[in-house]
Structure 1
Amino acid sequence: MARNSCWFFQKIFTRKKEYASRTFSDNIHVLTNKFTNWEPSVKIEVGDYGKINKDTGVFSKIGNIFDDGKTKGTEELKRKTHGQDTKLSLASSNVRAVAFEAGPNIQLAPLGEIAIQSQYQCSRDYGAILLMHKPSTTKLEGSLDTLKSADFEHLLGMYLVTEVDTCPAYAMYLSAKSSEVVKFMFALSAPIAAAMPGVTAGGSLGPAWYNEGTVGVYRSGSEPNQTYTTLFQTWSLGKKKDERRDTVRPGDDISGPDVWAMSVPPWEPLDEDGKEMD
C-alpha cells in the first residue's frame, strides 16, 4: 500500500532509467497530443517557452511570453481556464481497463469517501496510466499568427506552452512489461478511528492514494493546497517537416516559411523498449 507523493522504482529495468519519463510521455502523447510533466509539482504555465529534453522528455522553461520583456503584442492573447471535471483517466493502448475488485492491500486501507477506483490489465509491452482528480484546463486564446514578426525570433526552435491540465491529486504508472494487474484508489478522507484503532474518533486523515499490484514505475501526489501540472500542449514556430501534417518539430532545417503549428516530440518513434528507432 502506498500513500502520497510516491516516487519509486519497484523493478530494475533493462533499459536506461532516464527513458522511463520519455516512454511515459510518448505513450500519453499518442492519446492526447500533450506532453507529460514528469515532475507535476513543478509548475508549467500557459505562455511558458523552452526546450524538451530529447532523452528524458522533460520540459525546461526559458521564459514566458507574458513577462519576459521580449515578446510584444501579447495583449491580443489571453489565458482562460475551462471548467473542472470530476476525474480524468488516461490509459495507453497496451493497457486495458477491467472491473474493479478490491484486493488485500486496498481492503486494509482506512477508506472514507472514494473519488477514484480503477483496475487495469497490462500487457507485455510498456503501457502508461494517468489518473487525475478534478482536473481543469487552461488554454491560450487568440491567434499565434501575431507572433510571426521579427519581435518573436527568440521563440524559434522553442516549445511554446498553449494549454495545461492541472489537478489537486494525480497518479502515474508506467507498467513493467509483466502483464501485471494494477489497482488504484483515491480516498478524499479517512476517519481517524478507522485508520488508527484506539485513537478518539471525530477527526479524519487527508486525501490519499492507495495502489496494488504495481511493479513498474509509480508516483502520485495529493498534498493539501497543492496544484499539480500533469499535461501540457505546445506549439512551435518553425518549418513543417511534412506539408501534409499540421505539426512542427523545432530545429528541423527545412526550407520554406516559418509557421506556427502543434509541436511533435523531439525524439524519433520509440520501440518496445522505449528507445528511438533508426
Structure 2
Amino acid sequence: MFGLGESTYSSRKFIDLIFTASSKWANWDPPKQIKVGDYGTIQRKTGEFEKEGNIYEDDAMADIVADHPPQIASKDTVFEISSNNVRRVEFGLEPTASIPGVAEASVKGSWQFDTKRGALLVMHEPCNTYIPPKALLKKLLNVPVLKNKYLVTEIFSCPAYSLYLSSGKAEAVSLALLASVPVPTALPVNVGGSIKSSWFNHNTSGLFRCASDEVYSYTPLYALKRIKKPGLLRRDSPLPPAQDDDLWEDATQPWDPLNSDGEEEDFEDEVFDD
C-alpha cells in the first residue's frame, strides 16, 4: 500500500473506483483538456484517455457534425461522487470560526473512509456539455477513423475541483472551498488554488489534488462510448431494427479487477483500443 507517495497505478485505481460508482470516467489530471467529440484510446496502465482527434475539428466529418453542435445543460451548484466504501458525515471541524472562511464556504463537507481504498471527486458549479445523443451518433457509425475507438460524448467542466484517493486506512476527511479569505499558514491544513478562492483540506493522508480558477479551466469527469460490436444471431433469426441509442455502448474498464494498489494480474503495458 502507498501512503503519501503516488503509485504507478494510482490514476487507474482512482478512475476505476469513480467509474464503478458513477459509470463516468474520472480525469486524473483535470487541467488536461478533454472536449466533447474527442476520440482515441484508453491507456490500460494508467486508465487515462489518449486523444487522437475530434469529430468537430476533423474536416472529413464537417458535413456530418455541422447540424449537431454540442449541447449545454444547466449547471449544478456542486457535484460529488464517492466510491461505495466512502460515506458523507457531519462536517467535523469545530469550532469553524477558528478557520477563516470555512463557515461561509459555498462547498464543504466531511467524508468517512474505511480501511479499503476509497475515492472522492467534488466539483464546484460543474457545467455539463454533451453530444446530441440520437441522430449524430447514428451518422458516425460508418466513419472509418472511429472504428474501435472511444468517443467522448459528455464532459463535466468546472472552475474548481478536488479529488482524493485514500491511503487505505480509516479516516474522516474534510474539504471546503474558501472564497477570497486566505487560511493562516500556522494552521495545520493544506491549501491550493488561486487568490480568489482556495481549497481547505484536513486529515488527508492519501493522494489529494485540487485547484480553483475564475473560469471553467478543468474537466474532472467525462463519458465515453464506442460503436457496439454486432452480437451473434441464429441463422433463422431476423435482424432487429437498430435504435439510435443501441448502436453505441458505454465504455467499460479495459482491465481485470484491481487490487488496493491498482494492480491487476497478468498485466501487459499496452494501449487498449480493440
> Normalising TM by the smaller chain, what interval?
0.7 to 0.9
For the pair 1:274 / 2:273, whether they are aligned, the reply is no
**Match of residue 74 from structure 1:** 65
Given that 1:237 and 1:261 are in contact with CA atoms closer than 8 Å, whether structure 2 keeps it comes out as yes
Q: Which amino acid aligns with 2:27?
A: N
Which sections of structure 1, spanning at least 5 residues, go unmatched?
1-8, 197-204, 244-257
Do 1:109 and 1:210's aligned partners in 2 also have CA atoms closer than 8 Å?
no
| Secondary structure of 2:101's aligned partner | coil
Tell whether 2:139 aligns with 1:146.
Answer: yes
The alignment's C-alpha RMSD in Å is 2.8
Letter in 2 for 1:60: E
> Which runs of no fewer than 5 residues in structure 2 stay unpaired?
186-194, 234-245, 267-274
TM-score (norm 2): 0.80
Q: What corresponds to 1:249 in structure 2?
A: none
Q: For the structure 1 residues 82 and 38, does the alpha-carbon distance in structure 2 shift closer, same or farther, using more than 3 Å as the test? A: same
Aligned residues with identical type, % of pairs: 35
- State the partner residue of 2:270: none
1:226-269 deviations in Å (ceiling 9; x for gaps): 521010101112426899xxxxxxxxxxxxxx942111122222
2:124/2:159 contact within 8 Å kept: yes
* Helix, strand or coil at the partner of 1:114: coil
TM-score by length of 1: 0.79
Cα offsets for 1:54-87 (capped at 9, x unmatched): 0101111110001112325113422111011111
Query: Structure 1 177/77 Cα, relative in aligned 2: closer, same or farther at 3 Å?
Result: same
* Pairs aligned (count): 242
CA separation in 2, counterparts of 1:55 and 1:73? 34
- Partner Cα separation in structure 2 for residue 111 and residue 59 of structure 1: 36
What residue number does 1:86 align with? 77
TM superposition shift of 1:186: 0.9
Deviation at 1:221, TM superposition (A): 0.5
Matches within 5 A, 1:1-278: 11-12=4-5, 17-71=7-61, 72-102=63-93, 109-111=99-101, 113-141=104-132, 142-143=134-135, 144-149=137-142, 152-190=143-181, 205-239=195-229, 259-276=247-264
Q: Matched residues in 2 for 1:223 and 1:145: separation?
A: 37
- What is the deviation of 1:25? 0.8
Name 1:250's counterpart in structure 2.
none
Amino acid at match of 1:148: L
Question: Equivalents in 2 of 1:186, 1:147: separation in Å?
Answer: 41
Tell me how far apart the structure 1 counterparts of residues 34 and 45 of structure 2 sit (CA, whole Å): 19
Q: Give the whole-Å Cα distance in 2 for the aligned partners of 1:89 and 1:56.
A: 22
